[in-house]
Amino acid sequence: MLYKFIVRPILFLQSPEQAHYFTFRAIKFVSKIPFVSSIFTSMYSFNHSDLNVQIGNLRFNNPIGLAAGFDKNAVLVDEFANLGFSHVEIGTVTPKPQSGNDKPRLFRLPQDQAIINRMGFNNDGADVIAERLKKRKSKIIVGGNIGKNKVTPNENAIDDYVYCFERLFDVVDYFVVNVSSPNTPNLRELQEKEPLKNILATLQSINNKKVKTKPIFLKIAPDLTVGQLDDIVEIVQETKIQGVIATNTTIARTNLKTNEDVVKSMGAGGLSGKPLTERATAVIKYISEKSSKSFDIIGVGGILSANDAIAKLDAGAKLVQLYSGYIYEGPGLVKKICIELAQKNNK
């Protein structure tokens, strides 16, 4: 209640990007005050053995994670460990640092509980982020979401993915191959069968030569056709990566309550939040059934309540991740989902 009626209205007076960085600075500052971290943990965490999830060699305390794009540069990993999440996915990380697209590039649609972004993989680069992650203190599971630099042509994209994979290997717990962001020109072309298979097979080959392998996931768009989803299932099974993250943001603008002219004025970008809820869940269900549950699925897209999270888990996801829902509903959402999940499991 405090967040929805006091904190959020104040944050929403600022532009979305300003509010984001203000919040990060505030969390960083207050977390340095003695006992604040333990207070946050007691306020926002909920632990129950029934919530534990095993994926590969990783044990998650609960199924709720923070989606990629929120803490791109891994600056608040330890702090998010105190806010109830079982894992944080950092990135998208590219080999070289890049500033991303021109501002403004982040927009709220409050009537739709949605966000449009065209950030463009703004990040500090793999080298800086790897060094930062070496200093983390908490044991929260960290995923490394990796992509290619904007200036890298698609025919050389595999080199960027390999570089990020090698550079982050010792400092993250699992990897996510991002070929589905709509905000890097031509990136989604890499979702086509042959280039995608080449990237995943190459990374899995490198992975298999390591002393201890790391789970690799593929993040897919919600805008894929049934035929493309069938190809994804086939490629994941063939390359034997861990699974799929479904889904990224959508380029669709259908059934929005926000005035059409207002939406058009925001321009291009990926839409996330409530309008994506049903489509993301449908993609999860289709992939789960098509693959006969032969690989793991992480569900993302429009989770604003415990029921939304449960629907994705029931559809076949083993974990879920929050982004827009966290902005609209606040930090209490994680604990709320965990409590309802535990109650559901104990009925």
Q: Which residues are catalytic?
A: 181
Please give the Cα distance from 208 to 211 (Å, whole number).
8
Q: Which pair of structure tokens corresponds to residue 189?
A: 């072309």
β-strands 64-66, 114-117 pairing: unpaired
Q: Which residues pair with 273 in a beta bridge?
A: 114
Per residue, what are the HEC states of 60-121?
ECCCEEECCCCCCCCCCHHHHHCCCCCEEEEEEECCCCECCCCCCCEEEEHHHCEEEECCCC
Give me the residue label for tokens 């982004």: 323
Please give the Cα distance from 335 to 61 (Å, whole number).
12
Q: At what angle do helices 126-133 and 157-168 cross, to 10 degrees?
A: 20
The number of residues in the chain equals 347
Cβ within 8 Å of residue 31, ≥6 positions away:
37, 40, 78, 79, 82
β-strands 216-220, 296-300 pairing: unpaired
